[in-house]
Amino acid sequence: MGAETAYHGEMGEQFAARAGRSVYNAYTDRPAMLRLAGDVGGLRVLDLGCGAGHYAAAFLERGAGRVVGVDGSESLLRVARERLGERAELHHHDLEEPLAFLAEASFDLAVLALVYHHVDARARLLAEVRRVLRPGGALLVSTTHPTADWNYFGGSYFADDRVSLPFGNDHALTYRRMTLETFLGELLGAGYVLEELAEPRAVEEGRLVDPGKYERTHRSPTFLAVRLRRP
């Protein structure tokens, strides 16, 4: 995430704790993204907006050869370092800025898990990801579902304003609303080829954590996730 939208300080610490057990993060988005990733054995994986390292840890457990995580929050990276140790290479970096420290064609898979809608310089980020992915490499992107945002915030479905979602007692997540047309249009316009689209629902384990939230993900859309290929 960018420096302005990264989860800093106490908010980052709260998010790190919640992401490990949340129905939405741990049992809806993460299983969907891991399914879309498929076999990662031996792959070089770039986790952009890596947060507390939950996705990176999962890729390593599934045999990824190299995992590099990037995040704009030092609070989250501290937790990620505790979780991952020396198994992953972690960088504190603003995703609004170029990924100049990463070499061309140096990754097989890039992941943007619930971070894309936080970034304003999305066209530049997609171009940078394309640069560091090898030809034929895959990009996974998940975001808030446009219909979920419309249902929650109201107004026009076609609004593209920056919205604020309460988080915890004293914090808020801020991100940019976008339509399905905008989301897919940006990805395809950046030269990627769409391979699969999913509207994730919570896996069965999520029912044990919070039955109400589990059922909610099966009644109305929460997230949107895609797998794309770099030609």
CATH number at residue 85: 3.40.50.150
> How many angstroms separate the first and last alpha carbons of the chain?
26
Q: Residue 34 domain-assigned? A: yes
Q: Residue 126 domain-assigned? A: yes
Q: Domain range holding 71?
A: 9-146+181-229
Tokens for 139? 């990009």
What string of pLDDT tens digits covers the 231 residues of the chain? 555 555 656 554 565 556 677 999 999 999 999 999 999 999 999 999 999 999 999 999 999 999 999 999 999 999 999 999 999 999 999 999 999 999 999 999 999 999 999 999 999 999 999 999 999 999 999 999 999 999 999 999 999 999 988 876 677 778 999 999 999 999 999 999 999 999 999 999 999 999 999 999 999 999 999 999 999
pLDDT for position 6: 56
User: Which residues are within 8 A (CB) of 138 and not within 5 positions of it... i.e. 6 or more apart?
Assistant: 37, 108, 109, 110, 195, 227, 228, 229, 230
Tally of domains in the chain: 1
pLDDT for position 172: 78
CA Rg value for the chain: 16
Write phi, then psi, for 230 (nearest 5 degrees): -90, 115
Q: Residue 130 domain-assigned? A: yes
| Contact by Cβ (8 Å): 84, 61 | no
pLDDT for position 165: 81
Q: Residue 154 domain-assigned? A: no
pLDDT for position 16: 55
